[in-house]
Every structure is written in C-alpha cells, then in structure tokens.
Amino acid sequence: MKVIIIGCGKVGMSLARQLYKEHDLTLIDRRTDRINAVPEDIDAMTIVGDGANVTVQDEAGMSEADLVIAVTDSDELNLLCCLIAQKTAAGCHTIARVRNPVYSQQLPFIKERLGISMTINPEYAAALEVSRLLRFPSAISIETFARGRVELLRFKARPEHGLAGLRLTDLHARFRSDVLVCGIQRGDEVHIPDGQFALQDGDLISLIATPQAAAQFFSAIGLSTNQVKSALLVGGGRMGLYLAQMLLAMKIDVRIIEKDLKRCELLSELLPAASIICGDGTSKELLLSEGLSAAEAFVAMTNLDEENILLSLYAKQHTKGKLITKVTRMDFDNIIDELDIGSVIYPKSITTDYILQYVRSMQNSIGSSVETLYRILDEKAEALEFTIREGCEVAGIPLKDLETRDNLLIGCINRHGKIIVPRGHDTIEVGDTVIVVTTHAGLQDVKDILK
C-alpha cells in the first residue's frame, strides 16, 4: 500500500518505523529539523511542507495514496489534511489524531458526515486502558482478542506467587487453570517459551486466557481479581477528565488533585460526583491527607513525566493499591520498567498501536488475514489474530505436525465463540481465528508461521 504520514513527531516516527518495511511510505512535516532527523534506515520519501497544501500533497503522490495518517500537533490541520486527501485520491482511507474533548463529542459526525475513516484520541485511549486495568488490578497490561473473549495479560512474578522454578508444563496441574504463558521478559531478554521453560521471580509474564480463566489463575496464585473501589488521581487534564468519567460510571469513588484553579472549577462542573481538590499533587502532606494510604488505586498523570514517576515511587511506599503512571516520552521505557512502579501507560504508544491495527485491517481486505495486532514484550514481539479461510495450508493438520518457525507460539483458537487453549493434537479449521505470538515481525497470513 502507498501510505502518507503527515506529522513527524513521536507518533509519526513510531508509525514510520513500523510501516516502512511493508509499504511505500512518504513522510511530510512543516519542520525541516524533524525531516532531517528521520533515520537513514527508514526507507521513505520525505517532504518539508504543509500537509494540507494541495501542491505538497501532489508532490507526495496523493492521487495514488491508499492511506493518509495525519498526526500533527493540530486537530484542525489533521482533519483538513484528511478532507483534502479524500478529494484528491479516490477511495483513500484517512486517519486523524483528534485530541480536543470538544471534537471528541462530535466524532460520529466527523466520521460519518466528513468521511474520515478513523479518529484517534490519545488521552481517551489511554484513559480507556487505565479503566480496563482498574477492573483487573493484578495485571500490568491487558489486550483483548476475539471481540473480548480472549485476553492477553502481563504481570510480574513475585516470591509470594510460588512460581519460581515451575516449568510451564506443570502450570496447569499445579493451579488447575486453563491459561497459556506465551511470552517471558527477563531483564533485557525476551523468550517465546516452550513447555520446559522454568519461571523465575521477577519475570514479566504474558499469558493468554479467557477472562474467567485468567481470574481463576490470578486468584490461585494470590492476586486480586476484583475491580478497585477508590482511586486517587493526580492531574486533571484531558486524560484525567476522561478517566474520571469512566471510573464514576464503574461506581468507583474518584478524587482528583489539580493545581490549576480554573481547571478545578471546570472539573467540578463536569464531574459533580467526584471530589476535586485544588492543590499541588507533588506535596507529600497533601497526598497523605487526601487518602493516599487508603486508596485502592493511584494514578499519576500530570504533564511532566518526571513528576509522575516520582509520585508513583512515593505512592509505592505508602499504599498497597494499584499504581499507574502516565509517561509521554517512550525513549527510556526499559529504564522505567526497572523501577517497578506498577503499570506504565504510554499514550503515544497506544495511539500507534490503534493505528497499526487499522492498517492491518486494511491489508486484510486486500489479502492479509490479520485481524488484530499488538506489540508486546518491550515491542520485541507481536501478538496477532488471524482469520482462517478456505484453502488455508495449515487447516486440518494437528499442531504437533506443523513445522512452525522458531520463536513462535500458537496461543489460542477461537472456534465460533468457543475458546480453545491449543494442545498438540488440536487442529486449526476454516472459520477459526487464531492468536499467534512471535518475535518475527510482518507476518501477513497464517501460512507465514511455517518454516
């Protein structure tokens, strides 16, 4: 496909790194320094200019574009770029990043009347991720497949869980839970494990299971499976507003600390059921006086990454509740993961993942069978959901007889709503969807799992 990305900030460049190997890619940005900073290994045409300028779009080959992704810092510019692209290229799909809450309320109009294929709001998407975690606080991250019937969960193994030294083949016998461990992150090492792999304390474990099986497993190893009842939020910006609305709808008690008086007044109007505290969220005395010790969840989401990290480190000393930290910059994620501050949310990374899923769904309509895609294990692996169609080379063959690639695991089979954690004698059949976890990037069809 011919893909044009307008806006070469962090999200734009993250998308470029994921897409350039599989697509004819063009990058557009007003700023010369951003275009000059595009790495040489990214094979893409680069243009300095206004993405909404028809001349610039012509230079980029807009008339032949299959997809335009507008992720500049301006909502209005993103929407305008997409509208012009639709007039220039017949049948072109368009994706716009839209962050303003006012526009967010008009998304149905924007998509249906203006014809934008997809809009993505990073703060709303991040808030949705946090609300999902607070429903299941034991997990560090949760991704969904098969329309919510299957979940990919990540958690950290600790001594009290009793997992150290346990081989994966013995996991089911020990805990009587139908879960499949599909990935292990141990320090800088990433493993797609086989049955003989032995767990260690400190491992970041990714597992695939139905929500019911996951809850049973977490309960068996002594982790909480019930949603939190109270949450203390520091930061009342866009993400804070979206999150508070979601949590209140879940009947969770919400307290927000925000230092800007005008913002507090607005939050009080929009969130009458929440407690709004005007004050400095970095004040230790204020945090303790507002119930940090008793809160079942603490979410740090100010505009400064450094503040959020320090707040979560402090909260870790004073509460046993679920910790969630918003981080904007993705450059130091490996260092941040070592701090053990609960779940770290990267809005830009979530935005990139949503857009990549849409790109894969477009490919599905022109030959690919990928339905869903998540990057996992510190982005060193992918979890993909494939649709099995007529004539599929792997259909009807027992899994133990398939010569699959190394570092690849078939994690789950969804057969008309029935979830199967596969064993060697199971087969993949036409009509199934299959979840595969692998370190091999760019798989387009389920046949690509074969050597």
pLDDT of residue 176 exceeding 90, the answer is: no
What CATH number is given to the structural domain containing 183? 3.30.70.1450
Distance, in Å, from the CA atom of 406 to the CA atom of 403, rounded to the nearest integer, reads 9
Domain-ending residue, one of 199, 220, 241: 220
Q: Is the pLDDT of residue 441 over 50?
A: yes
Is residue 443, in this structure, part of any structural domain at all? yes
193 within domain boundaries: yes
Q: Report which of 130, 132, 137, 149 is spatially closest to residue 225, judged by C-alpha positions.
A: 137
Q: What is the pLDDT of residue 201?
A: 93
Burial class from Cβ neighbours inside 10 Å (0-12, 13-18, 19+) for residue 205 reads buried
Domain boundary among 120, 151, 168: 120
Strand ranges, E, within 10-132: 24-29, 45-48, 67-70, 93-97, 118-120
CA dist., res. 102 & res. 124, Å (int): 12
Rounded Cα–Cα distance for residues 438 and 441 (Å): 8
Within 8 A by CB and 6+ apart from 200, the residues are 157, 164, 165, 186
Give the model confidence (pLDDT) of 287-303 as tens digits: 999 999 999 999 999 99
- Evaluate whether 248 touches 254 at the Cβ level (below 8 Å): yes
| Number of domains forming the structure of the chain | 4
Tokens of 170: 């013995």
Q: Quick check: is 243 in a domain?
A: yes
Q: Please give the average per-residue pLDDT across 187-210, as a whole number.
A: 90
User: Considering the domain boundaries, does residue 127 fall inside one?
Assistant: no
Do 18 and 114 belong to one domain? Answer: yes
Give 60-111 pLDDT, tens digit per residue: 999 899 999 999 999 999 999 999 998 888 788 999 998 887 777 777 777 7
Contact between residue 239 and residue 127 where contact means Cβ atoms under 8 Å apart: yes
**Please, are residues 374 and 152 in contact by the beta-carbon 8 Å criterion?**
yes
Both 113 and 6 in one domain: the answer is: yes
Check whether 313 has a pLDDT greater than 60. yes
Contact at 8 Å (CB) between 354 and 96? no
Q: Is the residue at 345 inside a domain?
A: no
At 210-237, the pLDDT tens digits run 888 888 888 888 887 788 999 999 999 9
Kindly state whether residues 6 and 85 are assigned to the same domain: yes
Is residue 141 predicted with pLDDT exceeding 50? yes
Per-residue pLDDT of 323-332, as tens digits, reads: 999 998 877 7
Mean local confidence (pLDDT), 246-261:
95
pLDDT mean across residues, the chain? 88
Whether residue 157 sits in one domain with residue 113: no
The answer to the question of residue 365 being in a domain is no
Q: Residues 105, 155: one domain?
A: no
Question: Domain check: are 144 and 197 in the same one?
Answer: yes
Cα 363 from chain centroid (whole Å): 20
Answer yes or no: is pLDDT of 115 > 60: yes
Segments forming the whole domain that contains residue 26: 2-120
Once rounded to an integer, what is the mean pLDDT over residues 43-49? 94
Question: Tens digit of pLDDT for each residue in 267-288?
Answer: 999 999 999 999 999 999 999 9
Higher pLDDT, 169 or 377: 169
Residue 340 pLDDT level (bands cut at 50, 70, 90): confident
pLDDT-derived band at 252 (thresholds 50, 70, 90) equals very high
**For residue 410, is it within any domain?**
yes
Q: What per-residue confidence (pLDDT) applies to 149?
A: 79
Choosing from 196, 220, 244, the residue where a domain stops is 220
The predicted pLDDT at position 274 comes to: 96
Residue 263: the pLDDT is 96
Q: Is residue 114 part of a domain?
A: yes
**CATH classification of the domain holding 308:** 3.40.50.720
Same domain, 173 and 208: yes
Higher-pLDDT residue of 334 and 10 is 10
138 pLDDT tier (thresholds 50, 70, 90):
confident
Is the same domain home to 193 and 299? no
Using pLDDT thresholds of 50, 70 and 90, give the confidence band for residue 147.
Answer: low
d(CA 361, CA 450): 22
Predicted confidence at residue 364, as pLDDT, reads: 56
